[in-house]
């Protein structure tokens, strides 16, 4: 198996911390991958409403480049990139006319079908490795008892025939990753509700209204943090959270799933870029660190007492 | 020398549109051994049949080929006509040039050539046909009905009233089925138990009905007219002959927390129980899985535990030592009426079905299904007929009813309409509004399907008189939000998302066949569809027969059905059974396999492959009575003429009458020699 890496634009721009934490976690888990040489824009939400051919051709070129470098699997951490790449592959398989046109548009042969991963299912595949690394840590487990709401949004799970995610309405893959990281996923109601997507700028009020329900429900079900795997979801829940929550309400940190896994396997918040969030995660991390130390101390105390005796 | 007549039918335009029928007749007229060939517009019509009869007599025909439709359609017609003209009916064969040719081709020239080939092969076959006689088999004039719901009860009563004995087998402790659980019935709102219990009592008291409750069919042998059914009488732990049904045992039972199946899990019962007060028979059973004494035995505890029911029983009817008993019943016909279960909605689903995790069923206590609502609305239910929600007993001020949960949803594995839900949702909304006058009943529907006598009027009444609020659209999510149950959906007529704070939600879940239906169907050798519903022999013309002769089907085990449909089907099966029993003997087509005992080597490969169990080993003895060798022997009553044994026979000792090797080879030769 050869894994190609498609970074996309967000991971180098507005969501740098997603890219940083992804690369750090990939290194920590010893996942081998190679960045696609000369990759181009996935088309995002702009290309496919303008032209179907363009919406397929842009991601198809990336797929073809990945195949040309010998890859049979590909990971696209950004949920929108993932969705476009998977959709292109789906349409090329389903529409023979489109598939026949494509080599002419791309100027290269049609790529064979690749196994396309999003970050959640890639981490789920490596869940045993994550568990091993968490168990092997000498210092006390940081995320123990941390209650996390797994928020999927739309692009990872829908449409189900394109993504093939575990369940379009009640997905559980991210919960499995959170569990592997040693934290506790909470049962809540808004895991696949809409975050407002790309309306963050053009219709901010709608995004605030939608996000408020998500954050409030996560809080009502006892979550201390929300885990996401999509730059758009992160922007909406993190950047707009100040507008959602009333004064005096404790803000709810929104962490990328890669950041959570990174913390679990012992990477530092700085390596994971956690300082870049609008909702400051530092108080939560301090609280967790305090708790972990206290646990370690109480565990060490009897041992020390024994030693003294 | 053979003198075969070939008759080519136009079937109006059905065949003539793509096949030149006159050309086919002309080509066959020159075929060796053909003494007569002609074409006609409708061969199955009276004048058409007259043509055949006249030719048989005038031309002294020794065989007839009718090139027309499938033998499923008109083989009987033409064989009868041939026999009326003095020809053995099995010397008449059909060449299928409609389903196998004209309907599936467009090129007229090629289709005509193909039709000619088909007619030639059958002409060659007919030359090797021999006169055969129909087989007569005796009939046991006694029926078995499997399932004691309203369909089974109706079928049993009708057959019993016709003067024949019926064995009614029911897996539960009482007959009555789902209908006994219902509060009121659509479209008349009459009390379900009030119309059902008289039928239950009648079945119990009928001199011709033998009731076997707490019993299941174990195995089935034999064939139409001569079935041997082994029924497992599950250990009741109560001697039914001694018990007088006083109920002291149930009062004495310390276990009162077992969820009641009859109350759809909303109420509780004791471990020794009758399912409901009007149970027939009124004899309790011990539910061994929940009885303390049997649980102790299962754990290997030697000491005798509890036994309070036995102490309380003044008649001494409790028998902890009872064992399952196998009883063999000989019957001539079987009616399958095993009914339905409701799709169980939650995440875990059997057989590749998907659940509706997003509807919170099983997690939110105030999300219930239709049968549970029936129990809430029923006077005999856990709330004595008051509508109160399960979580806190509060009278709900807003109830949301969701149609089509599972039904019409191929994503969840059930593409079909469950048929009864539109009606019972309207009924539920009405019952609720009759009991909680200021309550709000909101119904999310896809379409309102109210086809039936008085049905549409009924749903209109729910809207116009009882204020049911119908919203067209689907519900995307149901979850608990504090004290309320949030229902999130979309109103597709108003084009807007809807959120309702409900106190209770009732899901109209899909009807599915009973668990175990596939095993029962395999036991009976009847086929079932991808959902497990029993297949009828023909969707329009043989709706209550199955593909196994002598086995009939009634009620919701064939497809989702309401009470009137189930009762009508049940009476139809009774009519079929009574017709079967009106003859002293049954006639069967002689298309069965026979063994040439002189050449059979007794390997019995045929016995292993026969899907009907028609082959047995037979001893060949010399005059002194010593066994010389073993051969295979085929029971013509059981043989269905599939030909599997003929194909596998190593010594070529089995021939299927009407499809001998010689006949099939000559058909192939016909294709090879006439290009």
The interface pTM score, or ipTM, of the predicted complex is 0.75
Residue A292 and residue A162 in contact, taking contact as beta carbons nearer than 8 Å:
no
Provide the pLDDT for residue A309. 58
Residue A127, classified by CB atoms within 10 Å of its CB into exposed (0-12), middle (13-18) or buried (19+), is middle
Residues of B in contact with A149 (CB under 8 A): none
Q: How confident is the model at residue A291 (pLDDT cuts 50, 70, 90)?
A: confident
Distance of CA B298 to the CA centre of its chain: 37
Chain A touched by B358 (CB under 8 Å): yes
One of 3.50.50.60, 3.90.1150.10, 1.50.10.20, 3.40.50.11720 is the CATH number of B345-512, namely: 3.50.50.60
CB contact under 8 Å between A170 and B479, yes or no, is: no
Chain A touched by B388 (CB under 8 Å): no
Fold (topology level) of B4-127:
Rossmann fold (3.40.50)
Question: What would the mean pLDDT of A296-308 be, rounded to a whole number?
Answer: 70
Chain A touched by B499 (CB under 8 Å): no
* Residue at token pair 């824009």: A41
Question: What would the mean pLDDT of A68-85 be, rounded to a whole number?
Answer: 95
Chain A touched by B497 (CB under 8 Å): no
User: Searching chain A, which residue's CA lies closest to the CA of residue B478?
Assistant: A189
Provide the pLDDT for residue A139. 80
User: Searching chain A, which residue's CA lies closest to the CA of residue B354?
Assistant: A167
CB contact under 8 Å between B481 and A167, yes or no, is: no
Residue B90 and residue B102 in contact, taking contact as beta carbons nearer than 8 Å:
no
Q: Where are the domains of chain B?
A: 4-127, 142-338+577-581, 345-512, 593-656
Across chain B, which has 675 residues, the per-10-residue mean pLDDT values are 94 96 96 95 96 96 96 94 96 97 96 96 95 91 97 98 98 96 95 96 97 96 92 96 94 93 93 95 95 92 90 94 96 97 75 78 91 94 94 96 94 91 97 95 96 96 96 94 94 95 96 94 94 94 93 97 97 97 89 93 94 89 91 88 93 93 93 79
Chain A touched by B474 (CB under 8 Å): no
pLDDT digits (tens, 9 = 90+) for A161-216: 899 888 888 899 999 999 999 999 999 999 999 999 888 889 999 999 999 999 99
Chain B touched by A167 (CB under 8 Å): yes
Tell me the pTM.
Answer: 0.82
CB contact under 8 Å between A169 and B356, yes or no, is: yes
CB contact under 8 Å between A170 and B347, yes or no, is: yes
Q: Rounded to a whole number, what is the distance in angstroms from the first to the last CA of chain A?
A: 56
Provide the pLDDT for residue B137. 87
CB contact under 8 Å between A169 and B347, yes or no, is: no
Residue B216 to residue B227: CA distance in whole angstroms: 16
Provide the pLDDT for residue B350. 66
In degrees and rounded to multiples of 5, residue A102 shows phi and psi of -60, -45
Instruction: Quote the tokens at residue B549.
Output: 């002769």
Q: How confident is the model at residue A308 (pLDDT cuts 50, 70, 90)?
A: low
Beta-carbon pairs below 8 A across chains A and B: 14
Q: Is residue A223's pLDDT more than 90?
A: yes
Residues of A in contact with B354 (CB under 8 A): 167
Residues of A in contact with B481 (CB under 8 A): 189
Chain A touched by B481 (CB under 8 Å): yes
Q: Is residue A248's pLDDT more than 70?
A: no
Provide the pLDDT for residue B673. 82
Question: What would the mean pLDDT of A240-253 be, rounded to a whole number?
Answer: 82
CB contact under 8 Å between B357 and A167, yes or no, is: yes
Residues of A in contact with B358 (CB under 8 A): 169-170
Chain A touched by B483 (CB under 8 Å): no
User: Searching chain B, which residue's CA lies closest to the CA of residue A189?
Assistant: B479
Q: Which of A209, A86, A74, A224 is nearest to A156 (CA)?
A: A86
Q: Which of B598, B581, B491 is nearest to B159 (CA)?
A: B581
Provide the pLDDT for residue B639. 87
Provide the pLDDT for residue B348. 61
One of 3.30.70.100, 3.10.180.10, 3.30.70.20, 3.40.50.300 is the CATH number of B593-656, namely: 3.30.70.20
Q: Is B289 left (phi over 0), alpha (psi -120 to 50) or beta?
A: alpha
Q: Which of A138, A154, A175 is nearest to A260 (CA)?
A: A175
Structural domains in chain A? 3-117 (1.20.1050.140), 120-295 (3.40.50.11810)
Which candidate from B357, B481, B486 shows the least CB-CB separation from A169?
Answer: B357
Residue A187, classified by CB atoms within 10 Å of its CB into exposed (0-12), middle (13-18) or buried (19+), is exposed
């Amino acid at each position: 198996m050869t894994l190609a890496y498609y970074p996309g634009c967000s991971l180098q721009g507005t969501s740098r911390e997603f890219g940083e934490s992804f690369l750090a976690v990939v290194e920590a888990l010893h996942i081998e991958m190679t960045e696609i040489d000369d990759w181009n824009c996935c088309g995002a939400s702009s290309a496919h409403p303008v032209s179907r051919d363009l919406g397929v051709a842009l991601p198809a070129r990336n797929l073809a480049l990945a195949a040309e470098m010998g890859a049979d699997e590909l990971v696209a951490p950004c949920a929108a990139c993932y969705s476009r790449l998977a959709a292109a592959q789906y349409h090329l398989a389903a529409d023979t006319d489109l598939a026949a046109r494509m080599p002419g548009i791309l100027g290269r042969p049609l790529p064979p079908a690749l196994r396309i991963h999003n970050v959640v299912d890639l981490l789920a595949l490596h869940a045993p490795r994550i568990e091993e690394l968490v168990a092997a840590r000498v210092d006390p487990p940081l995320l123990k008892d941390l209650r996390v709401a797994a928020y999927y949004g739309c692009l990872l799970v829908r449409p189900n025939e394109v993504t093939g995610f575990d369940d379009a309405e009640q997905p559980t893959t991210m919960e499995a990753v959170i569990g592997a990281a040693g934290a506790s996923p909470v049962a809540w109601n808004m895991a696949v509700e809409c975050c407002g997507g790309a309306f963050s700028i053009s219709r901010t009020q709608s995004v605030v209204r939608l996000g408020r329900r998500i954050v409030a429900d996560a809080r009502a079900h006892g979550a201390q943090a929300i885990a996401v795997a999509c730059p758009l979801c992160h922007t909406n829940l993190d950047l707009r959270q100040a507008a959602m929550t009333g004064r005096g309400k404790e803000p709810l940190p929104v962490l990328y799933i890669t950041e959570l896994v990174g913390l679990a396997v012992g990477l530092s918040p700085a390596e994971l870029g956690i300082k870049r969030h609008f909702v400051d995660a530092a108080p939560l991390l301090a609280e967790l660190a305090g708790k972990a130390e206290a646990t370690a101390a109480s565990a060490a105390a009897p041992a020390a007492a024994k030693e003294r005796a | 020398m053979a003198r075969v007549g070939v008759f080519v039918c136009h079937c109006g335009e059905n065949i003539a549109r793509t096949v030149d029928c006159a050309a086919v007749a002309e080509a066959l007229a020159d075929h060796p051994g053909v003494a007569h060939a002609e074409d006609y517009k409708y061969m199955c019509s009276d004048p058409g049949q007259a043509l055949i009869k006249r030719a048989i007599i005038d031309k002294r025909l020794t065989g007839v080929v009718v090139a027309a439709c499938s033998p499923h359609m008109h083989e009987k017609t033409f064989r009868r006509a041939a026999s009326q003209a003095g020809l053995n009916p099995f010397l008449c064969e059909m060449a299928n040039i409609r389903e196998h040719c004209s309907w599936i081709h467009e090129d007229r020239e090629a289709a005509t050539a193909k039709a000619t080939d088909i007619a030639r092969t059958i002409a060659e076959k007919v030359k090797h046909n021999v006169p055969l006689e129909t087989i007569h088999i005796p009939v046991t004039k006694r029926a078995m009905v499997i399932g004691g719901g309203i369909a089974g009860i109706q079928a049993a009563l009708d057959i019993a009233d016709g003067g024949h004995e019926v064995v009614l087998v029911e897996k539960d402790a009482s007959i009555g089925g789902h209908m006994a659980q219902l509060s009121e019935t659509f479209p008349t709102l009459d009390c379900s138990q009030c119309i059902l219990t008289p039928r239950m009592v009648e079945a119990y008291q009928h001199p011709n009905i033998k009731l076997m409750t707490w019993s299941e069919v174990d195995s089935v042998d034999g064939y139409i007219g001569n079935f041997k059914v082994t029924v497992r009488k599950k250990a009741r732990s109560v001697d039914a002959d001694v018990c007088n049904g006083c109920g002291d045992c149930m009062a004495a039972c310390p276990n009162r927390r077992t969820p009641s199946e009859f109350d759809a899990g909303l109420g509780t019962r004791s471990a020794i129980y009758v399912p409901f007060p009007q149970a027939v028979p009124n004899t309790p059973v011990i539910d061994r899985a929940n009885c303390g004494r049997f649980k102790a035995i299962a754990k290997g505890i030697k000491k005798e535990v509890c036994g309070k029911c036995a102490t309380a029983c003044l008649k001494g009817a409790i028998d902890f030592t009872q064992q399952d008993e196998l009883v063999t019943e000989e019957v001539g016909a079987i009616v399958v009426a095993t009914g339905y279960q409701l799709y169980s909605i939650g995440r875990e689903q059997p057989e590749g079905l998907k659940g509706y995790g997003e509807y919170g069923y099983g997690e939110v206590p105030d999300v219930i299904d239709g049968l549970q609502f029936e129990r809430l609305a029923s006077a005999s239910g856990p709330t004595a007929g008051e509508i109160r929600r399960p979580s806190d007993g509060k009278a709900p001020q807003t109830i949301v009813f969701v149609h089509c949960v599972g039904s019409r949803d191929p994503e969840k594995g059930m593409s079909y309409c469950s048929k009864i839900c539109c009606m019972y949702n309207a009924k539920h909304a009405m019952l609720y509004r009759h009991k909680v006058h200021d309550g709000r009943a909101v119904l999310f529907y896809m379409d309102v399907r109210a086809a039936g006598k008085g049905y549409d009027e009924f749903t209109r009444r729910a809207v116009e008189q009882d204020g049911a609020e119908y919203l067209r659209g689907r519900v995307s999510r149901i979850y608990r939000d504090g004290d309320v149950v949030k229902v999130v959906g979309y109103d597709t007529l108003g084009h807007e998302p809807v959120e309702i704070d409900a106190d209770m939600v009732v899901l109209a879940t899909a009807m599915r066949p009973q668990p175990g239906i596939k095993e029962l169907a395999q036991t009976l050798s009847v086929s079932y569809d991808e959902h497990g519903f029993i297949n009828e022999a023909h969707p329009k013309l043989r709706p209550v027969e199955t593909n196994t002769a002598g086995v009939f089907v009634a009620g919701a085990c064939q497809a989702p059905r309401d009470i009137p449909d189930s009762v009508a089907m049940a009476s139809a099966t009774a009519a079929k059974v009574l017709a079967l029993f009106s003859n002293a003997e049954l006639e069967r087509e002689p298309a069965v396999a026979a063994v040439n005992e002189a050449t059979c080597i007794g390997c019995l490969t045929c016995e292993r492959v026969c899907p009907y169990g028609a082959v047995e080993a037979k001893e060949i003895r010399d005059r002194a009575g010593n066994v010389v060798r073993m051969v295979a022997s085929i029971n013509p009553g059981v043989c269905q003429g599939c030909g599997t044994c003929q194909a596998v026979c190593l010594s070529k000792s089995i021939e299927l009458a009407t499809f001998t090797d010689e006949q099939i080879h000559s058909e192939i030769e016909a294709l090879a020699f006439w290009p």
